[in-house]
């Protein structure tokens, strides 16, 4: 079992060399976020030889820093974009079917206040139209609530001016896990993907981008990878890739920052998720998740470091004020913040529009060198974005080589972790997996967490427990060793920081656990990866930086700019 997966951290260099030798690939994707993962899955499924290069870890940028909702497109209805509401509604239903371990229906309360953005009638009509356009299942269609019903559903709401509310459905997800499991599925179908590989230059033939020079940030080695077509799916870094290509002209990205706070559930004990007006007219989510509640998001123009977007004290105080205005009894303070995250939205710049007004639509740019760039878009729409890109590449490959490729079929592909026995509901399968884990010696809470994180792949971790015991790992740590071994050998986890933030989500949603086990995780991963002293130092520095950013905040954007310039 050890190191055999093509998605093993121990086989990174082998996969990278294979990518280099398989010249030229049909398609090379720059960027290992949700869009790059979706493109890789679509292309591999159609039979293309596809490679993915990600300069950090998979999903480490925008794709792990969202509100962690598979939106049905309510905000697009507000903008009058009927077609987009229909599309994201369909996409949400597809994801719910194909990744049931990561896409969970979550009822959302939309309180209606006198003088708010929408009146009661407008909210009722809007949610009805939204359900109809998005094809929402009957059991999940909106319900309008009286003032009394709204207060019974959420007693903490501000009472002054409350007229009632609307209850509709969003779908909660773990965006980092979704990105990773899609990439794993792509690799199972033949794609090659390697993290910590930075594109430093392009290779040209007759003025056409025919390959890239890559710096492996782990080994320090350089590689040259050739491809018939190259797609830039680098999210907030897309314009940097266009600059390397010398094609940064015309439309450009406009980056906005979104910030989220995490507090213990007893400090914001909302009964269920809510979406509400802030005093300045913007909208904020409050979402309970196990023993925590998270709050977001801001939407402000951003021009500091793309590699290290960070929350400022201004961001924090804005969200605290918004929550205290809507839930006046809770009286949150800065001391209640357990963790947080900040992410960047790579929007397409439009003259005269503010950050919240810019379209979330995606767009494709093709440079003179034939570099294809996909920019903009939303988490929910990643599969359709990928389909557009791969359709374009398939047409070009057929034109140049005569080979026809099938149409997109990713709507029918179960994402890794979502598998279950035929004829068994996913809820019944979850219960069975938890029982099987407990029978194998895993405590119930740990097995529940594994099933929630990994879906059916949790059983692959359970199978590693005997090996952890054979290696004389202390009994109370065998669960962690098995989880880390799986993460390294089947999820290309290269650093302890990536495990704590992206693979497990502990640094976001269980900071006490992350702090408790950080040193043990570091030691176990050093042994699993057989790291050299200088590599251990580099990994420790990344780990320290992760926790430092959770505890130290710049005062404002100006200070952040000076810290990162």
- Distance of alpha carbon 19 from alpha carbon 49, whole angstroms: 9
pLDDT of residue 81: 74
- Using alpha carbons only, what angle is made at residue 560 by residues 554 and 562, rounded to the nearest 5 degrees? 125
In the chain, what's the furthest Cα-to-Cα distance? 71
pLDDT at 359: 66
Give every CB contact of residue 176 below 8 A, 6+ residues apart in sequence.
59, 63, 64, 501, 502, 503, 505
| Contact assessment for residue 230 and residue 212, using Cβ atoms and an 8 Å cutoff | yes
Is residue 41 packed enough to be buried (19+ CB in 10 Å), middle (13-18) or exposed (0-12)? buried
* Distance spanning both ends of the chain, measured CA to CA: 45
Pairing of strands 222-232, 208-216: antiparallel
Cα 387 from chain centroid (whole Å): 19
CA-closest candidate to residue 440, choices 468, 417, 473: 468
What is the DSSP secondary-structure string of 309-347?
A: ----HHHHHHHHHHHHHHSTTT---GGGEEEEEEEEEEE
Q: Are residues 278 and 334 in contact, defined by beta-carbon separation less than 8 angstroms?
A: no
Cα 214 to Cα 55: distance, rounded to the nearest angstrom = 9
Instruction: Name 322's Cβ contacts closer than 8 Å, sequence gap at least 6.
Output: 278, 279, 284, 295
C-alpha to C-alpha distance for 75 and 247, rounded to whole angstroms: 33
CA–CA gap between residue 216 and residue 219 (Å, rounded): 6
Residue 222 near residue 213 (C-beta atoms within 8 A): yes
Residue for token pair 């309970």: 288
Reduced to 3 states (helix: H, G, I; strand: E, B; else coil), residue 55 is: coil
User: Nearest to residue 11, comparing CAs of 228, 222, 219?
Assistant: 219
CA distances from 375 to 184, 423, 505 (A): 23, 39, 26
Separation between Cα atoms, residue 556 and residue 551, nearest integer Å: 15
CA dist., res. 531 & res. 72, Å (int)? 44
Rg (CA), the chain: 23
Burial class (CB in 10 A: 0-12, 13-18, 19+), 66: buried
Residue 432: φ, ψ to 5°:
-65, -45
- CA 485 to the chain's CA centroid: 23
How far apart are the C-alpha atoms of 423 and 89, rounded to whole Å? Answer: 25
Provide the residue-wise pLDDT of the chain in tens; the chain has 565 residues.
Answer: 343 468 999 999 999 999 999 889 999 999 999 999 999 999 999 999 999 999 999 999 999 999 999 986 776 776 677 787 788 888 999 999 999 999 998 999 999 999 887 789 988 988 888 888 777 888 888 999 999 999 999 999 999 999 999 999 989 999 999 999 999 999 999 999 999 999 999 999 999 999 999 999 999 999 999 999 999 999 999 999 999 999 999 889 999 999 999 999 999 999 999 999 888 878 899 999 999 999 999 989 898 889 989 999 999 999 999 999 999 999 999 999 999 999 999 998 866 666 666 667 889 999 999 999 999 988 999 999 999 999 999 999 999 999 999 999 999 999 999 999 999 999 999 999 999 999 999 999 999 999 999 999 999 999 999 999 999 999 999 999 999 999 999 999 999 999 999 999 999 999 999 999 999 999 999 999 999 999 999 999 999 999 999 988 877 777 777 766 5
Is residue 524 within 8 A of residue 536, CB to CB? The reply is no
**Going by DSSP bridges, is the β-strand pair 50-53/25-30 parallel, antiparallel, or unpaired?**
parallel
| Contacting residues for 242 by C-beta, under 8 A, at least 6 apart | 232, 248, 365, 367, 371, 373
d(CA 382, CA 216): 27
Cα–Cα distance list, 344 to 197, 253, 351 (Å): 21, 11, 20
Going by C-alpha positions, the residue among 274, 341, 384, 351 that lies closest to residue 38 is 384
3-state helix, strand, coil in the chain (%, to 5): 45, 20, 35
DSSP 3-state of 242: helix
Q: How many Å apart are CA 503 and CA 493, to the nearest integer?
A: 8
- Collapsing DSSP to helix, strand or coil, 58 comes out as coil
Q: In what helix (H) or strand (E) does residue 231 lie, and over which residues does it extend? A: strand 222-232
Instruction: Please give the pLDDT value at position 1.
Output: 39
pLDDT score recorded for residue 358: 66
Residue 536 contacts by C-beta under 8 Å, 6 or more apart in sequence?
Answer: 526
CB neighbourhood size of 556 (10 A): 12
Q: Which residues contact 258 (CB under 8 A, 6 or more apart)?
A: 65, 66, 67, 296, 297, 298, 299, 342, 343, 344, 345
pLDDT value for 251: 87
Q: What is the three-class DSSP state of 47?
A: coil
Q: And the tokens for 386? A: 């990928």
Pairing state of beta strands 300-301 and 253-264?
A: antiparallel
Pairing between β-strand 162-172 and β-strand 300-301 as defined by DSSP bridges: unpaired
């Amino acid at each position: 079992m050890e190191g055999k997966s093509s998605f093993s951290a121990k086989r990174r260099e082998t996969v990278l060399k294979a990518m280099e030798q398989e010249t030229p690939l049909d398609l090379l994707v720059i960027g290992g976020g949700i869009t790059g993962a979706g493109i890789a899955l679509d292309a591999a499924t159609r039979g293309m030889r596809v490679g993915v290069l990600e300069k950090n870890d998979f999903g480490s940028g925008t794709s792990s820093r969202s509100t962690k909702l598979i939106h049905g497109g309510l905000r697009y209805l507000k903008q009058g974009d009927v077609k987009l509401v229909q599309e994201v509604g369909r996409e949400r239903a597809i994801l719910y079917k194909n990744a049931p371990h990561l896409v969970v229906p979550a009822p959302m309360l939309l309180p209606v206040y006198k003088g708010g953005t929408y009146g009661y009638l407008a909210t009722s009509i809007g949610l009805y139209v939204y359900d109809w356009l998005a094809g929402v299942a009957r059991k999940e269609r909106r319900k309008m609530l009286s003032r009394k019903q709204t207060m019974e559903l959420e007693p903490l709401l501000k009472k002054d001016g409350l007229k009632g509310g609307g209850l509709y459905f969003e779908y909660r997800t773990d965006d980092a896990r979704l990105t990773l499991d899609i990439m794993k599925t792509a690799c199972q179908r033949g794609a090659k993907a390697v993290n910590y590989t930075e594109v430093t230059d392009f290779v040209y033939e007759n003025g056409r981008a025919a390959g890239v020079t890559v710096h492996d940030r782990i080994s320090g080695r350089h590689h040259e990878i050739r491809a018939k077509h190259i797609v830039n799916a680098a999210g907030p870094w897309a314009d940097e890739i266009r600059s390397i290509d010398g094609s940064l002209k015309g439309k450009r990205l406009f980056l906005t920052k979104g910030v989220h706070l995490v507090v213990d559930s007893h400090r914001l004990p909302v009964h269920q998720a809510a979406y509400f007006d802030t005093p300045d007219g913007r909208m904020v989510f409050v979402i309970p998740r196990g023993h925590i509640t998270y709050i977001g998001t801001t939407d402000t123009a951003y021009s500091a470091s793309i590699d290290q977007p960070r929350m400022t004290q201004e961001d924090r105080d804005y969200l605290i004020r918004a929550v205290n205005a809507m839930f006046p009894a809770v009286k949150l303070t800065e001391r209640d913040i357990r963790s947080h995250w900040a992410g960047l939205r790579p929007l397409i710049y439009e003259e005269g529009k503010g950050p919240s007004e810019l379209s979330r639509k995606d767009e494709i740019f093709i440079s003179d060198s034939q570099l294809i760039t996909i920019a903009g878009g939303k988490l929910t729409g990643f599969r359709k974005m990928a389909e557009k890109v791969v359709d374009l590449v398939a047409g070009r490959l057929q034109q140049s080589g005569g080979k026809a490729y099938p149409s997109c079929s990713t709507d029918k592909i179960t994402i890794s972790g979502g598998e279950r026995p035929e004829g068994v509901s996913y809820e019944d399968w979850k219960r069975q997996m938890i029982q099987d884990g407990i029978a194998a010696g895993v405590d119930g809470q740990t097995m529940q967490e594994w099933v929630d994180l990994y879906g059916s792949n949790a059983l692959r971790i359970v199978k590693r427990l005997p090996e952890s015991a054979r290696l004389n790992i202390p009994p109370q740590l065998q669960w962690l060793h098995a989880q880390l071994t799986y993460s390294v050998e089947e999820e290309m986890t290269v650093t302890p920081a990536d495990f704590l933030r992206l693979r497990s989500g502990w640094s976001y949603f269980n900071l006490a656990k992350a702090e408790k086990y950080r040193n043990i995780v570091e030691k176990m991963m050093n042994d699993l990866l057989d790291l050299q002293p200088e590599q251990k130092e580099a990994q420790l520095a990344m780990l320290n930086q992760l926790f430092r950013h959770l505890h130290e905040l710049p005062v404002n954007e100006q200070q952040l700019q000076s810290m990162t310039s």
